[in-house]
Amino acid sequence: MANDNETYFAAEDAEKTAANLLGKADSWYRELDTNGYLEKLRLMWTSYHGAYYSDFGDGHTISFGGEQGELANMSVNHIRNLGQHMLNMVTATRPSLQARSINTDHKSLVQARLGNGILDYYLRDKKLEDYFKVAVEYAIVLGTGYIKLEWNSMVGDVYDVDEETGEEIREGEIEFSNLSPFDVVVDSSREDQDHDWIICRSFRNRYDFIAKYPEQKEKILGLPSKSELQSQYLESSFFNDTELIPVYEFYHKRSESMPNGRFLSFLSEDVVLSDGDMPYRDLPIYRISPSNILGSPYGYSPLFDILPIQDAINMMYSTILTNQNAFGVQNILVPRGADVSISELSGGLNIVEANTQFGDIAPLNLTQTPAEVFEFLTTLERAAETISGVNSVSRGNPEASLKSGSALALVQSMSLQYISGLQQSYVQMIEGVGTGIINILKDFAEVPRIATITGKKNKTSAKEFVGDDLSSVNRVVVDIGNPLSRTTAGKMEMAQEFLQMGLIKTPEQYFQVMNTGNLDVMVENTQSELDLIRDENERLVEGGDVVAIAIDQHAMHIKEHKSVLADTELRLDVELAQRTLNHIQEHVNLLRNTDPDLLSLIQEQPLGPAGGSPAAPAPQGGPAPQGGPETVPPAPPGGPQAQGPAQPGLPDPATPPAPFENMPTDPSEM
């Protein structure tokens, strides 16, 4: 819709802009209808929900067609099954959101850890993961899915009251919602997804608006309901009448033409709810799509290509069923003129006597369906699997030739590789949403708020924070993990490799992997130790206390604690470097002074005295060999360890490390 003047449509007054936006939305839907994309979405929606031969409500029954109802119609919904498998492969593992800070100083790292906890809080407690799954399902079925973030200042606990108006001021909260392709309008001329503006539509109770804007009552009552609008787009009578009406929201990002951006909320061109600057740093609507139609902003899903295959599959099943239904009751072929008599015995058993000169009496078999029909049906089902990328192994029905775990894992990995485009879009959407959450909290969380933070080993704690506590966090990255490790075939193959490497110690561990596909049993001890080390590293960075004890995996601790100082800027933090090196020295001392028998049981190699070669251990409690030190009993767990001479290259805990002896403590002198 072109403007009549040279003023940018987004810079007009509220009512005129609203009228322009409604015109753009109407033009968008007309274009979708004209180019056939809207019809494709309708077919996908009805097919995904099994409505092939009748309306949605009767879609899961056998119906009859033809001039006299002689044709039996039967659908076997492969589209939904394939779509559900794609959904499960992408979302099977909970994503791990990791906040990243601008700098690597102590304060920034602490804020990044807080950001991780907050993101996990929204993922778990606020059910953000459910919105991710719905968005992925929209993308698989309709080509595109969306998640919208918004800050609702009207929810949360009351922390103040406006002295002039008496209105309660609440702490506010981030709210999430899913949008379908029917509810999002963008510039159709854009060939990329870097849009300057976006229009979205949600639905709310009309009587809430009447209560808030009583002067607009008649106009609000005249607006179409959600059921009326969706019946037009989906051409279905499934939706009942409702009091929900559309609410349009327009977001324009900050740009040269719109330095402050713009946010406009309206019900119609003459019912504007709010108008102001863009409240968010970026457009708060995040998209996911398996792929795109080249040269357009439209999403494309592999299930689009399966629509005609699904129709053919339904025809084959209907052909077989029609034949069986028509001729399943046995018929008797009797030669014309045959002399046939029937004698009935008790129980309904009959004796049939006939003059066989006219020919034998025989059953008339019309139920046999040509083998080519079944072969073509199998071909169609395999074609659907090939196009979707969901193979027979993923669907739990592997071919007879695939017997080994290696073969199953290979075929499964090919399926996961095929949907990597959807997986990549999924990661990008999650990263965008995670970054959006952090930015919204930085801008709007002005009062202290409590979040339940889940730390290492699933330990939870209540953490108070405000937006400024996240000032150094600038982005969020996502770790999805190895997709093959989420499949049973992949886990079984990894279990076989672990068995060959000797990592599986007992038959119980092996059978647990075979029965459940769970690999955690094999790495539980190592993973627990790594979790402990990560927690200690975080405490070292934050200035917390850490203690080494005799039964630690000391070599692993020393190697992993090195990573704390694997950064040039962190090494310049005198206190952090001293704290880390002192803790490493604790592990060295324990390797030198702990009972060698205990170290042997936990597969740790004891160290000899500082500056010399290891001496042969003496019997427990007895004198040491000639020229060797006495055996030192193990230090009590959790307590301070006996300090031995400093190991070359490591500082004595009682003496500051040499590199920092002459370093100024005043930052201005550095």
Comparing 241 with 612, the larger pLDDT belongs to: 241
Q: Is the pLDDT of residue 611 over 70?
A: no
Phi, psi of 278 (to 5 degrees): -65, 120
Residue 212 lies in a domain: no
Give the mean model confidence (pLDDT) for residues 48-55. 82
> Does a structural domain hold residue 636?
yes
174 shares its domain with 297 = yes
Q: For residue 475, is it within any domain?
A: no
Is residue 358 in a domain?
A: no
Mean pLDDT of the chain: 79
Q: Domain range holding 530?
A: 519-612+630-669
Whether residue 425 sits in one domain with residue 569? no
**Least-confidence region, from 106-115, 450-459, 591-600, 605-614:** 450-459
- Return the higher-pLDDT residue of 308 and 617: 308
Q: Domain for residue 144, yes or no? A: yes
Q: Are 557 and 539 in contact (CB under 8 A)?
A: no
Greatest mean pLDDT among 395-399, 495-499, 507-511, 541-545 lies in: 541-545
Clarify whether residues 665 and 524 are in a common domain: yes
Residues 292, 157 share a domain: yes
Q: Worst-scoring range by mean pLDDT, 19-28, 102-111, 380-389, 491-500? A: 491-500
- Range in 45-54, 401-410, 505-514, 516-525 with the lowest mean pLDDT: 401-410
What is this structure's pTM?
0.70
- Asked if 146 and 295 sit in the same domain, the reply is yes
Per-residue pLDDT for 261 more than 90? yes
Report the range of poorest mean pLDDT among 190-194, 254-258, 549-553, 651-655. 651-655
pLDDT number for residue 167: 80
Give the H/E segment covering residue 246: strand 244-252
Q: What is the mean pLDDT of residues 76-89?
A: 90
pLDDT band at 513; cut points 50, 70, 90 = low
In the predicted model, is pLDDT for residue 640 greater than 90?
no
Residue 448 covered by a domain: no
The H or E element spanning position 364 is strand 362-364
533 assigned to some structural domain:
yes
Domain boundary (392, 407, 440) is at: 440
Question: Which alpha helices (DSSP H) does 262-370 contain, by range?
Answer: 302-327
Is the domain of 569 the same as that of 428?
Answer: no
Mean pLDDT across the stretch 337-352? Answer: 61
Asked which of 440, 475, 501 is the last residue of a domain, the reply is 440
Contact 23, 40 (CB under 8 A): no
The reply to whether 144 and 50 lie within a common domain is yes
Q: Classify 57 as helix, strand or coil.
A: helix
pLDDT, average across residues 131-142: 96
| pLDDT for residue 487 is more than 60 | no
Query: In this structure, is the dihedral angle defined by the CA atoms of residues 209, 214, 215 and 217, taken in order, positive or negative?
Result: positive
Q: What is the mean pLDDT of residues 614-624?
A: 45
Q: What is the mean pLDDT of residues 193-216?
A: 93
DSSP per-residue codes, 459-502:
-EEEEEE-GGGGTTEEEEEEE---GGGGSHHHHHHHHHHHHHTT
The reply to whether 299 and 168 lie within a common domain is yes
For residue 579, tell me if it sits in a domain. Answer: yes
Q: What is the mean pLDDT of residues 498-510?
A: 69
If asked whether residues 425 and 563 sit together in one domain, one would say no
In the predicted structure, residue 358 carries a pLDDT above the cut 80: no
What is the number of structural domains in the chain?
Answer: 2
DSSP class of residue 162 equals -
633 compared with 428, residue with greater pLDDT: 428
What are the structure tokens assigned to 444, written together?
Answer: 């709007």
572 vs 345 pLDDT, higher one: 572
Burial 197-217 (b: 16+ CB within 10 A, else e): bbbbbbbeebeebbeeeeebe
Kindly tell me if the per-residue pLDDT of 229 is higher than 60: yes
pLDDT at 335 over 90: no
Cα separation of 306 and 292, whole Å? 17
Whether residues 435 and 544 share a domain: the answer is no
If asked whether residues 89 and 179 sit together in one domain, one would say yes
Q: List b or e across 548-578, with b for residues whose CB sees 16 or more CB atoms inside 10 angstroms.
A: bbbebbbebbbebbeebbeeeebeebbebbe
Q: List the structure tokens of 518.
A: 């769970």
